[in-house]
Structure 1
Amino acid sequence: MKRALGSKVALYLVLSIGALAFLFPFYYMIVASLQADSDPSLAGAFPNPANLTGENYVAINDRINLGVGLINSGIFTGGVILGTLVFGVLAGYALAVLRWRGRGFTFALALLVQVVPFQLLMIPLYVLIARDYGLADTHLGMILPFFINSAAVIIFRQYFLQVPKEMFDAARIDGAGEFRVLWSVALPLVRPALLTAALLTFIGPWNEFLWPFLITKDAALQPLAVSLANFISNVAASTSNPFGAMTAGAVVLAVPAVTLFIVFQRYFTSNDIGSGVKG
């Protein structure tokens, strides 16, 4: 019994050390954003309370408007999540439940897309969206290349495959069409997949820099990640505390993602799908 207790204590000790090591960069970022006189050394993680201030947030907001950047990031991310969920659910349902010629080949293409780097497609996408569609400097131009996510299609397909076929057959016998079956039977059972796909999708566009930077030149339309990069490269030297202002912007960019993960982390579990069918 003593050996088991010792093993448990050692396990919790190792996990606690790992958690502290993981959280320390976030703690350091927050502390650095609140320092009037930045100390980039390790000692800066334990600042003098008299050196703490909120002026860094005011300084960076005066130059890039954090509120506008957050709104643009929200529009960009929200549009991508909407397209990911709608088309991911429809395609995943079609690949998992419906029977049609070419289904296996289509799924293979969805897997193949995963190995193609986005950077290889960026130039032809830019020509297509900016020149042919005339969508440069628009939110739609930012959203379109990410509107359909093949990873989400695969996630939904795997979840729909777990739903017993008897449930679909019973709904069809009752006279339900395919969209009714999808809405009333399949979706309620795969809510974990919806949350998982939404949260995993959120991280990508929220932190995306390269494509929004390429497609937008108007600062009023740029997401916060692009605005922060422009601040670092162009006007950071004009502030009295560039390091503090940059970390303040990084905190503002990180807070929504961290908050969403904390709030929804308990939903990263699978439903007992099989419980819907009695033996």
Structure 2
Amino acid sequence: MRRALGSKVALYVVLSLGALAFLFPFYYMVIGSLQTDVDTTVAGAFPDPSNLTLDNYVAINERINLFQGLLNSGIFTGGVLLGTVVFGVLAGYALAVLQWRGRSATFALALLVQVVPFQLLMIPLYVLIARDYGLSDTYVGMIVPFFINSTAVVIFRQYFLQLPQDLFSAARIDGAGEFRLLWSVALPLVRPALLTAVLLTFIGPWNEFLWPFLITKEASMQPLAVSLANFISNIAASTANPFGAMMAGAVVLAIPAVTLFIVFQRYFTSNDLGSGVKG
């Protein structure tokens, strides 16, 4: 009993230290965004309360429009998530449930796409979207390259493969079509896959910098990550507290992502997919 208690205490101590090490950069970012006089040493993590202020948030908002940047990031991310879920569900269902010639080759191609770095495709995509289609400085131009996510296709396919085929056979006998099967039978059982795909996809476009930076020249169209990078490169030196202003912008950018993961972390569980079929 004493040995088991000691092991549990040691486990909690190790986990607590790991959690503190993981959370410290976020804590330091928040504290740095509130400091009037910057202290970049370790002692700066424990500042004098009289040195805390919200002026850095005002300063960064005066240089770049935080609300517009958040709105652009939200539209960009929302469009990517919409395409990821819709096409991921349809393609995953077709690859897992439907029987058709070329299914295995199509799945192999989806896996192959994942090993191709986006940087290799960036220049041809830029020429195609900006020059040929004239979609620079538009939300569509930002969203299109990320609209279909092969990783989401693989995730949905694996979840659909776990569903008992007897469910689909019974529904087909009752006269249900494939879209009815997908909507009424498959999707309710793979809700963890939907949430997993959304959460894993969200962080990518929300923090994406390089492609929006290439495709947008107007400041009013740039996502917040691009606006912050431009601020750091061109404007930060003109502020009274550049470090604090940069930290304030980083906090604003991080809040939606952190909030989303905190709210939905309990959904990272797996369902008993076989419970819908009686033995």
Task: Determine if the TM-score, normalized by the shorter chain, exceeds 0.5.
Answer: yes
- What is the Cα deviation at residue 271 of structure 1? 1.0
What SS does structure 2 have at the residue aligned with 1:270?
coil
- What is the Cα deviation at residue 276 of structure 1? 0.5
1:82 matched to which residue of 2?
A: 82
2:248 matched to which residue of 1?
A: 248
- What is the Cα deviation at residue 132 of structure 1? 1.1
1:155 matched to which residue of 2?
A: 155
Map 1:11-26 onto structure 2 (within 5 A). 11-26=11-26
What SS does structure 2 have at the residue aligned with 1:73?
helix
- What is the Cα deviation at residue 267 of structure 1? 0.3
1:55 matched to which residue of 2?
A: 55
2:110 matched to which residue of 1?
A: 110
Map 1:12-51 onto structure 2 (within 5 A). 12-51=12-51
Give the aligned residue type for 1:5: L
Measured in 1, the distance between the counterparts of 2:67 and 2:195 equals 26
Measured in 1, the distance between the counterparts of 2:132 and 2:179 equals 34
Give the aligned residue type for 2:6: G
Give the aligned residue type for 2:231: F
- What is the Cα deviation at residue 133 of structure 1? 1.0
Map 1:1-279 onto structure 2 (within 5 A). 1-279=1-279
- What is the Cα deviation at residue 107 of structure 1? 0.2
Instruction: Report the identity percentage.
Output: 84
Measured in 1, the distance between the counterparts of 2:65 and 2:278 equals 57
- What is the Cα deviation at residue 43 of structure 1? 0.7
- What is the Cα deviation at residue 238 of structure 1? 0.5
Deviations 1:145-182 (A, max 9, x none): 00000000000000000000000011111001000000
Deviations 1:32-71 (A, max 9, x none): 0000011111110000000000000000000111000000
Give the aligned residue type for 1:274: G
Measured in 1, the distance between the counterparts of 2:71 and 2:247 equals 19
Measured in 2, the distance between the counterparts of 1:187 and 1:132 equals 38
Measured in 2, the distance between the counterparts of 1:113 and 1:40 equals 43
Measured in 1, the distance between the counterparts of 2:57 and 2:278 equals 57
Measured in 1, the distance between the counterparts of 2:278 and 2:228 equals 55
Root mean square deviation of aligned Cα: 0.4
Return the TM-score normalized by structure 2: 1.00
Measured in 2, the distance between the counterparts of 1:92 and 1:228 equals 36
Deviations 1:225-271 (A, max 9, x none): 00000000000000000000000000000011001000000001111
- What is the Cα deviation at residue 131 of structure 1? 1.0
Give the aligned residue type for 1:103: R
Give the aligned residue type for 2:46: F
Measured in 2, the distance between the counterparts of 1:33 and 1:218 equals 27
Measured in 1, the distance between the counterparts of 2:265 and 2:51 equals 35
Which structure 1 residue ranges, 5 or more long, are not aligned? none
Measured in 2, the distance between the counterparts of 1:2 and 1:162 equals 42
